[in-house]
Amino acid sequence: MVTGQIRQSLSGFYDVDVDGETYRTRARGNFRNSNQAPLVGDWVDFKAENKKEGYILSIHERENSLIRPPVANIDEAIVVTSCVEPAFSSNLLDRQLIMLESHHVRPVLYFSKGDLIPEGKVTELSDIIEAYGKIYPTFFPFGENEDDVVKSLQDTFPGKIAVVMGQTGAGKSTLLNKIMPELELQTAEISKALHRGKHTTRKVTLMPIAGGLIADTPGFSSFDLFDMSKEELPKLFPELNELSVGCKFRGCLHIKEPKCAVKAALEQGEILESRYKNYLQFNQLIVDQKPNYKK
């Protein structure tokens, strides 16, 4: 029996790395029976007669895991967010961020296509990006500073497993090609008719880049399920959670309660109004959500 890490999954096959050697494996049927499937990033025990016919026997305990993208044991997630084409959406960005927070994955924000922002929108979007930068590590290449910003982002990689995620067409593969041109990842133009990207990433792979491992994964455009309680939700907004110590009532949800530090900060312009509006919407979605008895 050998221990290694899954570096790629494709059509039911799992490529496992053992000290730089790759073994192609499949999962035993007992995983399907137990409703458990191996994920890229998992540490597994397997047997292999040769490098092409191995079988995974067990999966080590995970630090964390995501469904979209389907990766385990992640240290950080680089959330690639387009400023335009597709248009910037604070709602989609905040959905991604609370999902990562709920799975204990450190978000790192990268705002793409800054050079395409219409002149009249530059100040507005720059102010929004600056506000996010007070909450999360944030990288915004604009004009001639792109190479320096990408280099600074690259400095967060060594020793970490990261996922690159974001809306379809936001420029995930383009970013990875800038960091490591020899990858030559396929990229695609935005469909003008549908205003959404063409899917270019067909498999999940952990790629060695800049001293770390990064997964380039399929894009997505929405999250429908909020898998947390309304009491847990405000703790997933770091700035709300930090302010909550000043609220009069313990467990304040920052909606109707009197003497709420979050609402006071909102009135003073100390937190993003769009973030608070998204919080209210997410709270209502959780309240209206039907119970999931399969959990």
Residues 6 or more apart whose Cβ sits within 8 Å of residue 124: none
Where helices occur in the chain by DSSP H, the ranges are 29-33, 90-102, 122-133, 146-154, 172-179, 238-243, 261-267, 273-288
Distance CA 76, CA 160 (A): 7
Sign of CA dihedral 153, 157, 160, 166: positive
DSSP symbols for 238-291: HHHHHHGGGSSSTT--SSS-SS-HHHHHHHTT-S-HHHHHHHHHHHHHHHHSPP
Binding-site residues for GTP, in ranges, read 112-115, 166-174
What residues are designated binding site for Zn(2+)? 247, 252, 254, 260
Concatenating the DSSP letter of every residue in 112-140 gives: E-GGGS-GGGHHHHHHHHHHHHTTS-EE-
> Could you tell me which residues are annotated as the binding site?
112-115, 166-174, 247, 252, 254, 260
Tokens of 31: 């995983």
Which single residue is written with the structure tokens 């997964």? Answer: 215
Contact in structure between 168 and 216 (CB atoms under 8 Å):
no
How many CB atoms sit inside 10 A of residue 191's CB? 12
Can you tell me whether residue 1 is helix, strand or coil?
coil
